[in-house]
Amino acid sequence: MELVERVLAGERLALARLLTQVENNTPTGREALERLFPLTGRAHLVGITGAPGTGKSSLANRLALGMRKEGAPKVGVVAVDPTSPFSGGALLGDRLRMKDVAGDSGVFIRSMAARGTLGGLARATAAVVQVLDAAGYDPVLIETVGAGQSEVDIVRLAHTVLVVDAPGLGDDIQAIKAGILEIADLLVVNKADQPGVENTLRALQAMLDIGEQRYAQAGWKPPLLRASAVTGEGIAEILAAIRAHGEYLGESGGRRQRDETRLTREFEALLQEELLARWRAGTEPETVAAVLARLKARKISPGGAVRELLG
Amino acid sequence: MELVERVLAGERLALARLLTQVENNTPTGREALERLFPLTGRAHLVGITGAPGTGKSSLANRLALGMRKEGAPKVGVVAVDPTSPFSGGALLGDRLRMKDVAGDSGVFIRSMAARGTLGGLARATAAVVQVLDAAGYDPVLIETVGAGQSEVDIVRLAHTVLVVDAPGLGDDIQAIKAGILEIADLLVVNKADQPGVENTLRALQAMLDIGEQRYAQAGWKPPLLRASAVTGEGIAEILAAIRAHGEYLGESGGRRQRDETRLTREFEALLQEELLARWRAGTEPETVAAVLARLKARKISPGGAVRELLG
């Protein structure tokens, strides 16, 4: 397949085209993915998440450029935006793409907006990361906008998860933090040039102290770092911590474990999709329609409708 | 079933117990849901969403109490927190429950944290709303923490969706707004007692103006309201707008359409779950294990593994 060869030869335009095929799950995309899959597993996958307003995108850009400066030949950035069910994703996408075009040709940035179903977005993201990995991009940063379960699900199976916070966010965000803190391998307080940073650091330190025992068992305590994507403060320290976590994962067997969990989940999601497609193909549409009509009249519940159709 | 009778007789403790059964999808819960389902479809379902830091929870509380004052005998509030994969949800949950206990016994508040899978949370939320509906709670407010796709999916099929914004939030949040704006039936700028409210109102008005044509076709333009959950400003206006939207939905047929879409989606999610369970029951675990081993060794892709198992 010519497109795959051109991607492996390093052609950016071919890569962009192939990613579109893969995102849209076309036959060409599926075939390419199958061919590229044995080449995956080399890239260090770095997830970047955190509440809105923490400046994750700017930080991801800084980190990608920093990785290049420190010697990575090709760095991938996948910016996932599940918060825009319709058109909103383009806002962030365009912002990122502009920086890409204006900047370093060793950085490849791909923006992904929601595509119908959440499952669809997770699958497309996994596939895009696999193509970048196979194409020699290493590390690959996976950045999510928002801080919902969907974003958490997408980044939590990266090798290294960076949770970003910032001073001056509200109460709701404190509540969110308690949840996403538990998936953090690194904690970064961004916008360290703004007032209130000491308070945020103190609050996070207190939360980290609570988890002390668990971290001691795991052998890795998330470092708490301060940074400013604007001034560049702390970027080198974050890059060093990402490398250190990568080494820890290699030594502890954690990397292999995360890889296996991620692949298994991806397999399960695809299996579920395919089972539904096959069931649909083997069922009379009229039968389904009759049951759905009774459901809509509230004569049977959704669960009752399923039991009736599957017998 | 005694528990169902007691719920229908208005016992709050029985309701709390039944909701736990329903949330955990136990046989008792499923049977109760089946019996209660024909009684559903009466409550006005009001979704409340928006970025973190906008004060959605306080607003939901104010609205619930306002609805009671205006004559609703029983108001339900379901607070969904998909952002806490582990333990974070309890923070918000407890805060809400305290207000409940201290306050009006005509308001029933249920907090829901993430339960393993997102699909699990969506199903559990739908079931909890159905029980409250059948038990005579009307309206039922469904409030989500966070602003990811998952939260959007959960509230978008309510009859009336209220999107909450607040002054002084960051850039990321502007990007999010573009997405969730499209699901809004009502737009509320909360924290109107804080500086910057005029700017936020202006920005939202500009976004509403862009959608003018679409709104004209649909016959409903989301009103833009300012409120303060702290001072009580604007609460009466929001309640009036929620009622007006309910009337619009009844007249336009939109209510029935949203109900049918919601039930169909719920059915599809359950169907998919059940198909997977049946496939598992009919497949040798050794066969699956052998294919998974090859997947983990990256000899086949997740898609290839599915094709191999299903033939």
Considering chain A, what percentage of its residues have pLDDT values greater than 70?
Answer: 84
Select from A30, A53, A176 the Cβ nearest to the Cβ of B173: A53
Q: Please judge whether A182 and B56 are an interchain contact, meaning their C-beta atoms are less than 8 angstroms apart.
A: no
Top pLDDT among A93 and A285 is at A285
Q: Taking CB atoms and an 8 Å cutoff, what residues of chain B touch A121?
A: 149
Q: Please judge whether B147 and A278 are an interchain contact, meaning their C-beta atoms are less than 8 angstroms apart.
A: no
Q: Does domain A40-252 have CATH number 3.20.20.210?
A: no
Top pLDDT among A116 and B223 is at B223
Q: Please judge whether A145 and B53 are an interchain contact, meaning their C-beta atoms are less than 8 angstroms apart.
A: no
Residue A161 confidence (pLDDT) = 93
Q: Please judge whether B270 and A175 are an interchain contact, meaning their C-beta atoms are less than 8 angstroms apart.
A: no
- Spans of all domains in chain A: 1-37, 40-252, 269-310
Residue B25 confidence (pLDDT) = 87
Name the residue in chain B with its Cα closest to that of A90: B175
State chain A's mean pLDDT as an integer.
84
The residue among A72, A69, A74, A220 whose CA lies nearest residue A159 is A220
Please give, rounded to a whole number of angstroms, the shortest distance from the CA of A147 to a CA of chain B. Answer: 6
Inter-helix orientation angle B302-310/B285-296, to 10°? 150
Question: Would you place residue B239 in the very low, low, confident or very high pLDDT band (cuts 50, 70, 90)?
Answer: very high
Say which amino acid occupies B157: L
pLDDT tens digits for range B37-76: 999 999 999 999 887 778 888 899 999 999 999 999 999 9
- Dihedral angle computed from the Cα positions of residues B240, B244, B250 and B253, in that order, rounded to the nearest 10 degrees: -140
Structure tokens at A147: 């801080």
Query: B281 pLDDT exceeds 50?
Result: yes
Q: Which of A157, A260, A306, A310 to mutate to test the interface with B (most CBs of B within 10 A)?
A: A306
Top pLDDT among A88 and A169 is at A169
Q: What is the mean pLDDT of residues B251-270?
A: 91
Select from B40, B151, B178 the Cβ nearest to the Cβ of A87: B178
Q: Which residue has the tokens 């502007």?
A: B174
Please give, rounded to a whole number of angstroms, the shortest distance from the CA of A242 to a CA of chain B. Answer: 23
Please give, rounded to a whole number of angstroms, the shortest distance from the CA of B13 to a CA of chain A. Answer: 25
Residue A115 confidence (pLDDT) = 59
Claim: this prediction has a pTM higher than 0.80? no
Please give, rounded to a whole number of angstroms, the shortest distance from the CA of B99 to a CA of chain A. Answer: 16
A302: number of Cβ within 10 Å: 24
pLDDT tens digits for range A73-132: 999 999 887 554 433 333 444 444 445 445 678 999 898 876 555 567 788 889 999 999
Q: How far is CA A79 from the centre of its chain?
A: 7
Q: Please judge whether A179 and B87 are an interchain contact, meaning their C-beta atoms are less than 8 angstroms apart.
A: yes
Nearest-angstrom CA–CA distance, B152 and B210: 21
pLDDT tens digits for range B10-42: 999 999 999 999 988 899 999 999 999 999 999
Nearest-angstrom CA–CA distance, A123 and A126: 5
Residue B265 confidence (pLDDT) = 87
Q: Please judge whether A175 and B88 are an interchain contact, meaning their C-beta atoms are less than 8 angstroms apart.
A: yes
> For the purposes of burial, counting CB atoms within 10 Å of the CB of A222, is it exposed (0-12), middle (13-18) or buried (19 or more)?
buried
Nearest-angstrom CA–CA distance, A70 and A60: 15
Query: A272 pLDDT exceeds 70?
Result: yes
Name the residue in chain A with its Cα closest to that of B55: A172
